[in-house]
Amino acid sequence: MFTHAIVRIPAANFAEGLTTAALGVPDFDLVLEQHARYCGALQECGLDLTTLDADLRYPDSTFVEDTAILTARAAILTRPGANSLIGEVDAIRGAINQFFPTAPAIQSPGSVDGGDICEAGEHFFIGLSHRTNEEGAGQLAAHLAGLGYTSSTIDVRAITSILHLKSGISYIGDHTIVVMEEMAVNEAFRALDLIQVSLEESYAANCVRVNNRVLVASGFPRLTAALRARGFDPLILDMSEFQKMDGGLSCLSLRF
């Protein structure tokens, strides 16, 4: 069970962040509205929120997930793989240290984005992407091993439609993993129950289990129905403006 989450209000220059999506410019009023609804959903799931002020120095800083890996045993600060994001770690360190006073960090030349790290119980899948490199993955695996967790890497560099590992998979508890079609045959998931996301619904593969609910992006009826059929309780959120900046549901909070 999670009890807390850290979120950051989107900055007014949100649209200047990094993106590969060709979905148009985000409407900032709608960004704020969708973010507020997202925060409300976390509270509905029983979480206390630490809400950080908007930070104009970092247009992507509302995507707090990329700055840290929070586990039940300890936190590890990342070193994001895009230059414009690196300073975000110092900007959030104080908030994380309030809950995790000693958090080691990934060191150069290693790079890790939190979006590449998928916790699945005692095991962590570490995505090798254009943001998370082998050195960073190795450092993270060593930290996790020190905490008693196992880990393995999954190379997603050839899957051009996703930014991070978790753009394509989500572990939602109960031995169940939601997986986009391109990754469904991956041996890494053979011990888990799979919910396969169809090609047209790929964006929805980034969903988030928060206590008794699963946050799911709106507009993806097949995945929503598949979750309900397995006994999960989807909480649907409009993510249109975050999708324009390559962001998904998991990116918008650090949950612990």
Which residues contact ligand CIR (rule: CB under 6 A)? Answer: 17-19, 60, 63, 65-66, 82, 85, 114-115, 163-164, 167, 245-248, 250-251
Min dist. Cβ of residue 114 to ligand CIR (A): 6
Q: Say whether 250 sits in a helix, a strand or coil.
A: helix
Distance of alpha carbon 212 from the chain centroid: 18
Q: What is the DSSP letter of 10?
A: P
State which residue, 92 or 190, has the beta carbon closest to ligand CIR: 92
Q: Which of 118, 164, 175, 207 does the annotation list as catalytic?
A: 164
Tokens at 216, concatenated: 């799911």
Strands 254-255 and 4-8: antiparallel
The number of C-alpha atoms within 13 Å of 236 and in the hemisphere containing its C-beta is: 10
State which residue, 61 or 151, has the beta carbon closest to ligand CIR: 61
178, 137 in Cβ contact below 8 A? Answer: no
Question: Considering just the CA atoms, what is the radius of gyration of the chain in Å?
Answer: 17
Judge whether 4 counts as a catalytic residue. Answer: no
Judge whether 207 counts as a catalytic residue. Answer: no
Min dist. Cβ of residue 85 to ligand CIR (A): 6
CA distance linking residue 145 with residue 78, whole number of Å:
16
CA distance linking residue 173 with residue 193, whole number of Å:
10
Tokens at 54, concatenated: 């908007």
- Across 44-56, b (16+ Cβ under 10 Å) vs e yields ebebeebebeebe
Q: Which of 39, 45, 207, 251 does the annotation list as catalytic?
A: 251
State which residue, 148 or 256, has the beta carbon closest to ligand CIR: 256
Tokens at 33, concatenated: 């509205």
Min dist. Cβ of residue 132 to ligand CIR (A): 11
Min dist. Cβ of residue 229 to ligand CIR (A): 27
Min dist. Cβ of residue 60 to ligand CIR (A): 4
Strands 234-237 and 150-155: unpaired
Active site residues: 164, 251
